[in-house]
Structure 1
Amino acid sequence: MNYITIALQCIVAFSILNVWLVQKNKSTQWRGGNAKTIIEEFKVYGLPVWMCYVVGILKVLLAVGLLAAIWYPELKEPSALGLALLLLGSIAMHLKIKDPLKKSLPAFLFLVMSLYIAFPL
């Protein structure tokens, strides 16, 4: 297995886990609108609270899948593509509420990394 791909898997996975498990109730410069928490962010996007839980569970499971894929390579592509799809949704939500492009930067970078993980050069 390619060490660059493994490094990217770890970076993406631990970053997603950090956002959804550690930083979920903390204000960051990347939150949509003026939201202080993830739930507030989903409200800013006009999405129901239940969707925050669905997206959160999916992102955490897919991030764990990226880590597990280090030992079970068959999990790599579906985990990376699932995250890429959710990250595309994150970017779309920032654009929907006309956030500055800077707020979409982490989602865009993790989208690019996820696509590289799924389809290495």
Structure 2
Amino acid sequence: MNYLIILLQVIVGLSILNVWLIQKNKPTKWRGGNAKTIVEEFQVYGLPVWMCYVVGTLKVALALALLAAIIYPELKQPAALGLAILLSGSIIMHLKIKDPLMKSFPAFLFLTMCLIIAFV
């Protein structure tokens, strides 16, 4: 079971880093509304641009903490729960603008993985 949790930590951590550091200015089918970038996505949600940077910083820091938790296990639960809270916010924002449910699938999937990491 330990290896499965580590695998989930790597998948979630690297995926969050990919979204926020590599794919942030690229369009994907998962972005809210018709947004092409993360900043545009936050604007579609009716959120201020500064909130994008706050959420991005938190997600990157928590993703790094989740990866570091492979060596420092005491970081695992706080990092996973912090990401779970932020991912819940992502799902709520998709619902707020009435996106098709499929657009919130990645957030739901990673929320589920974070809860497994935190509590198994």
* TM-score of the two chains, using structure 1 as the length reference: 0.98
> Hey, what's the Cα distance between the residues in 1 that align with 2:68 and 2:18?
17
Cα separation, 2, equivalents of 1:119 and 1:109:
16
Look up the SS of the partner of 2:86 in the other structure. Answer: helix
Q: Could you list the per-position Cα deviations for residues 27-60 of structure 1 after superposition, in whole angstroms to 9, with x for gaps in the alignment?
A: 0000000000000000000000000000000000
Runs (4 or more) in structure 1 with deviation over 3 Å come to none
Query: Which residue identity lines up with residue 107 of structure 1 in the other structure?
Result: A
Q: Partner of 2:43: helix, strand, or coil? A: helix
Aligned to 1:48: 48
Match of 1:81 in 2: 81
Listed as ranges, the gaps of 5+ residues in structure 1 are none
Q: What displacement does 1:24 show? A: 0.1
Q: 1:95 aligned to 2:84?
A: no
Give the number of aligned pairs: 120
Which runs of 5 or more residues in structure 2 are unaligned?
none
Could you tell me which residue of structure 2 aligns to residue 108 of structure 1? 108
Deviations 1:1-44 (A, max 9, x none): 70000000000000000000000000000000000000000000
Amino acid of the residue matched to residue 66 of structure 2? L
* Superposition CA RMSD, Å: 0.7
Deviations 1:57-114 (Å, cap 9, x if unpaired)?
A: 0000000000000000000000000000000000000000000000000000000000
TM-score (norm 2): 0.99
SS of 2:25's equivalent in the other structure is coil
